[in-house]
Amino acid sequence: MSLSPTSDAVYNSPNYLTAPTGIRSWLLTLDHKRIGVMYLALVVAAFALGGFFALLLRLELLTPGPTVMDAMTYNRMFTLHGVIMIFLFMIPAIPGVFGNFFLPLMLGAQDVAFPKINLLTVYLYLIGATIAVWGMIQGGTDTGWTFYTPYSTTTVTTLSPVLLGAFILGMGSILTGLNFIVTIHTLRAPGISWMRMPLFVWAMYATSIIQVLATPVLGMTLLLVAIEKTFGFGIFDPARGGDPILFQHLFWFYSHPAVYIMVLPAMAVISEVVQTFARKNMYGYKAVAFSSLGIAFVGFFVWGHHLFTSGQSTFASGVFGVLSMFVGIFTAVKVFNWTATLYKGAIQVSTPFVYFLGFLYFLIFGGLTGIALSTVSLDVHWQDTYFVVAHFHFIMVGATMMAFLAALHYWWPKMFGRMYSERWSLAASLLVILGFNATFIPQFLLGNMGMPRRYYSYPQQFQSLNVASTAGASVLGFGFVLVLVYLVASFFSGRVAGPNPWGSRGYEWDTPSPPNLLNFPETPVITRGPHEYQDGPSAEVTHGH
């Protein structure tokens, strides 16, 4: 195994954080690692903003009547929360940060295929985010993140800026996916065959396919809504022969696959974390690799399960319902392989592993409720209630957020060369998992009792569960703040991590921490598969836990 020579010369040469200095060297950087770090700063800021609006929503729902805002303000808040969390955090977070940083390292490449396009995506994100958030705050957009017609085309609030912002963000997302696909096809180092690619790369490949093939449809659809709203072309206007349901079809043709843009990268991270912290090779490498492609493929044929109550034919609903359950099969393939990997492993319960356990629980709970929801007769009862809200938060926030935190804690030492406080990080992980459960389990119950989503008030009998949910959200918020505090502290004064504090056999760990500006002094030749623990732990282990 010779991924990179570990000579003093390599370890003493400047790393990517320090090599060129000055703000200009960051703003115009073409280095995938710096771009990943910029994405980290941006998506964390977006998450903080979206989380702030979420806490305001929970504050309003503390009491049955008006608490701190009126109905219109509440509608604006959930629109801001949804748009920011989906378009500015969930979709770009893991590909933008960890995909950019680690995909080339895992392929033994010097960079992604198109570094300039990669930098462009950062600016598309920045411009799109600014236009969208400014537009929503300025114009008071109140449609929710789904922009359903005909309400969206007739509301008195401003809509076009947020649609334009989402279009620009979509362009960035497409280009990131395109860049990753081409990188994976053309820049694998000698020795990395398709069946030797890390599973992180496989799942990012599946994600990228969805980003490239689904996002243009959303972009055009949002432009049509903007044109309809601005010029009255009638394309979704029943008075002029337009069909508002067509909007729902087009919207969900992107937005359901987009759920897998959010969750496949999470699965990507988990496959790496479970192998490292169980000291075991993946139980079924091929099954996990191909199930990612399976999810990406089936994901394109399930959008109709969002239209069970929109006048879709019973037959179509039945077909979409059954197809949706196929996603559950591919997901189960992954879950069984992850758990089988643990069997007889030398498990190290560090913070990333705790997040892995949290992920598994949220994914299974959220996934099973998803299968229940894809059953038409059950969905008709739960449609537009808090049951649906709790379900997708379990997957999108629960599972994806757990994986984001697992990735952040797993790769933090590699990215910044420092360790964080294990005690504080374990405490925070328990707070986050506990707070999350306390927030959303009451919402499952509320939804099952019939509480509809997107209302700022509710009948008296729902209050105790809503209070529990709000309390949980506060714990969750506190947990996130804690993570931010100890990670910032670690950046400045954490213990030096060394190249491989976890003793991982992932390719990316055979570099110095932080990696050098040029990833490898010369193109590495790979002579083993990823995570081959039967050969013993990596030679570069400097200290264990």
- Interior angle at CA 275, CA 274 and CA 281, nearest 5: 140
182 binds another protein (CB under 8 A): yes
Interacting residue with another protein among 103, 122, 168, 174 (CB under 8 A) = 174
**90/250 with CB nearer another protein:** 250
Q: Where in 3-32 is the site for another protein (CB under 8 A)?
A: none
Q: Determine the Cα–Cα distance for residues 439 and 427; give it in Å rounded to an integer.
A: 18
Half-sphere exposure of 224 (CA within 13 A, CB side): 21
113 binds another protein (CB under 8 A): yes
> Smallest distance, Å, CB 250 to another protein?
6
450 binds another protein (CB under 8 A): no
> Smallest distance, Å, CB 216 to another protein?
4
Stretch that binds another protein, among 34-42, 125-133, 235-243, 320-328 (CB under 8 A): 235-243
Stretch that binds another protein, among 59-67, 241-249, 494-502, 533-541 (CB under 8 A): 241-249
231 binds another protein (CB under 8 A): yes
Q: Determine the Cα–Cα distance for residues 112 and 513; give it in Å rounded to an integer.
A: 20
Find the distance separating the first CA and the last CA of the chain, reported in whole Å. 25
311 binds another protein (CB under 8 A): no
Q: Determine the Cα–Cα distance for residues 331 and 310; give it in Å rounded to an integer.
A: 28
Site residue total, another protein (CB under 8 A): 43
115 binds another protein (CB under 8 A): yes
Tell whether omega for the bond before 514 is within 30 degrees of 0, i.e. cis: yes
504 binds another protein (CB under 8 A): no
Q: Contact, 423 vs 507, CB < 8 A? A: no
532 binds another protein (CB under 8 A): no
Q: Tokens standing for 392?
A: 């997708």
Interacting residue with another protein among 43, 122, 169, 187 (CB under 8 A) = 187
181 binds another protein (CB under 8 A): yes
217 binds another protein (CB under 8 A): yes
Stretch that binds another protein, among 54-62, 73-81, 184-192, 451-459 (CB under 8 A): 184-192
Residues with Cβ within 8 Å of residue 358, at least 6 apart in sequence: 398, 402, 429, 432, 433, 436
Identify the CA nearest to 384 among candidates 217, 144, 162: 144
227 binds another protein (CB under 8 A): yes
Interacting residue with another protein among 26, 52, 114, 300 (CB under 8 A) = 114
373 binds another protein (CB under 8 A): no
235 binds another protein (CB under 8 A): yes
144-163 core/surface letters (b: 16 or more CB in 10 A; e: else)? bbbbbbeebbebebbbbbbb
527 exposure class (CB count in 10 Å sphere: 0-12, 13-18, 19+): exposed
Count of CB atoms situated within 10 Å of the CB of 76: 20
Identify the CA nearest to 424 among candidates 480, 474, 482, 472: 482
Q: Where in 331-370 is the site for another protein (CB under 8 A)?
A: none
Residue type, 240: R
Q: Determine the Cα–Cα distance for residues 308 and 324; give it in Å rounded to an integer.
A: 12
**214/397 with CB nearer another protein:** 214
3-state helix, strand, coil in the chain (%, to 5): 70, 0, 30
Q: Contact, 379 vs 314, CB < 8 A? A: no
Q: Determine the Cα–Cα distance for residues 329 and 352; give it in Å rounded to an integer.
A: 26
> Smallest distance, Å, CB 224 to another protein?
7
Q: Contact, 207 vs 296, CB < 8 A? A: yes
Stretch that binds another protein, among 43-51, 112-120, 291-299, 309-317 (CB under 8 A): 112-120
Interacting residue with another protein among 7, 72, 151, 240 (CB under 8 A) = 240
Q: Where in 71-110 is the site for another protein (CB under 8 A)?
A: 109-110
Residue type, 168: I
293 binds another protein (CB under 8 A): no
> Smallest distance, Å, CB 200 to another protein?
20
Stretch that binds another protein, among 36-44, 94-102, 460-468, 518-526 (CB under 8 A): 518-526
204 binds another protein (CB under 8 A): no
Interacting residue with another protein among 186, 193, 230, 542 (CB under 8 A) = 186
234 binds another protein (CB under 8 A): yes
**385/511 with CB nearer another protein:** 511
Q: Residues interacting with another protein, by CB under 8 A?
A: 109-115, 174, 178-179, 181-183, 185-187, 212-217, 219-221, 224, 227, 231-235, 237, 240-243, 246, 249-250, 518, 522-523
